[in-house]
Amino acid sequence: MKAKLTLVALAVLSANATAANFAVPQHIETDYACQRCAAPEHNNTAGVMTEQSTHLDSQYGANADIQNKHYSVDANNAGADNGHLKAAAYYGDFALELAYVDRWNLDDNDIGAERKQLSAAAKYQTQLVSAFVKASSEDKQGQRISSTMKAGGVKTTNYLEAIDHTTQVMNAGVQLHGDFWNLGVAAFNSDFTDNAGIDADNSAQQASVKGALNVGSTRLSLSAASGKMIQDDAIEQDNSLVPISNFDGEVETLDYNARISSRFVGIKLSGFYRYSDRDNVSGSYEFFDGNQPPVINTPIDTSKTQYGVDASYRLGSAKFSAGFEQNDRTRSDSDREETQESELFARVDYRLGALNSHVKLTNGARTGSDYRIGEDIFEKYYLADRDRLSTELGLGYSHNNYGANLKVILASDDYANSSALQESDEVLVNFDGFYRFSEQLVLSAYAGTQTIDSLELHNTSISDEFSYFGFGLEQYQINDDISVGSSYTFSFSGSDTSVDSTEMGDYYQYQHLAEVHMDYRINARFSTRLAYTYERHYDTNYANQPIESINSIADLNQNYTDHKIGVFFTIKL
């Protein structure tokens, strides 16, 4: 089964999450650079806002954009549910920064959590060396839905569970750089604590080194990192099935990265190599269940190796490119311990005036080691042998007053006979465009559809359809002191599934969003804004269907009509 992302799902995915990040810094030159205000002129402003919403609580916040040679202040709805306040001071080669960030999110059940993060950083930069140290502490509080199985395993009960997490992070690094080279080291430490005593406390550490060398048109970059993730916390147990009081959990990490690029007689060549290893050195213990044989937990190790090359050449208005990529994975104690995936692509881009287009062909294949499962068990489709062929077509046109883009993707997957999923065909079409009636009136629109037809074992056919569209109209009128603006946006997304031509029901959601606002400039320094926003949101959700074995905690959709009035006041300093 392939995942389908609706507009709602994309919005959820954009929410920030706190977790240990073991990625090697990709841009050490900018990661360690001291961020200073370089603009010679800047309009410093400060303001306040208040909003009254029928769907959400009232909010008050402060806004500021102040920059100076020796200090800067950046505030965006500071004090509101989603806002931040950042301040920095500069003393010669040193910079000090303080920041406070507040993030608050609701899920589809109107159950939410709030993150409050306070951080402090110090930076130092000269022509030869740059260094930084940063510490942050984040508190996350709220509620989430959890479930438990009643005695006998007959009925599941959903309930609200408290969220009370604290995450403390420390980063430090130093870099040396010359005219053609740079070399840097960094260290990272993270500590996670669950103040509610529900989730296990854990910590993570990592040390990394990265360097780069430029010789003529050739650039080489290398990096390496080593770390560990540790969970050594007391185990809450309601019975004697768990033979230990503390779990000695530890995963050791190792990462290598290398990339090289160069130009030769008009051809750009590049290659890369990435290796990632996760060695699980956690303890193994026997678990007993009555008269049954003991079960031993097995730590699982994983490793991943990726490498590839690509080349491109520009000839007049056309650009030709091609490449190859290999992705090998190893998983211990798995249904299939090794998989090797290869992909070969070729692409042509062509531009003629305001018209641009491209064609991309991709051919991929997956093979691997023997399966460690019985003959009566089907192979999992994401591990099974597979051949993939896809074609991507793109066409775009851009003009001062109008423009449009069209993208079409055709993909076909053919799986081995031992997989429950036999084949899958996908068609995706996406369109977006705009038209400018005047300097004050702009119309924008987008639409798309995705169809996935799959054939499973015993000739069972499944058809998934996903479609979305939306448009927006924005108008803005300006005179010397008063500007009146209005905007309207409508969006829709939906999906439909059928099995052997039998409709299984559909899901859809839509949203109307309209705003009217008026800006009034009192004088050269003072201005104010009054805004009214109307929002209508509706979605269907299969979770609302009654299921005998589950006690639903509440209606899981998020249907509402919201009216919001906001007042903003700005001072130019």
Mean residue pLDDT of the chain comes to 83
Give the pairing type, strands 295-296 and 286-287.
antiparallel
Which are the contacts of 483, defined by CB distance < 8 A and separation ≥ 6?
476, 477, 518, 519
The total number of residues written for the chain in this structure: 573
Q: Which part of the chain has CATH 2.40.170? A: 27-59+174-572
C-alpha 87/C-alpha 171 separation (Å) is 19
Q: Which of 16-20, 54-58, 378-382 has the lowest mean pLDDT?
A: 16-20
pLDDT in tens, 19-66: 333 333 344 334 433 333 333 456 787 788 787 777 767 778 888 888
Give the whole-number percent of the chain exceeding pLDDT 90: 46
Which own/partner pairs from 93-101 qualify as long-range (CB within 8 Å, at least 24 positions apart)? 93/34, 93/124, 93/125, 93/126, 94/122, 94/123, 94/124, 95/34, 95/35, 95/36, 95/122, 95/123, 95/124, 95/125, 96/120, 96/121, 96/122, 96/123, 97/121, 97/122, 97/123
Please report the pLDDT score of residue 420 as a whole number.
81
Q: pLDDT value at position 372?
A: 77
Instruction: Give tens-digit pLDDT for 495-537.
Output: 777 776 677 667 788 889 898 888 888 888 888 988 899 999 8
Q: What is the DSSP string of 414-457?
A: EE-TTBSEEEEEEEEEEEEEEEESSSSEEEEEEEEEEEEEEEEG
**CATH among 3.30.9, 2.40.170, 2.30.30, 2.60.120 for 27-59+174-572:** 2.40.170
Q: Taking Cα atoms as reference points, which of 346, 235, 336, 216 lies closest to residue 282?
A: 235
Q: Give per-residue pLDDT as tens, 186-224.
A: 999 999 999 988 888 899 999 999 999 999 999 999 999
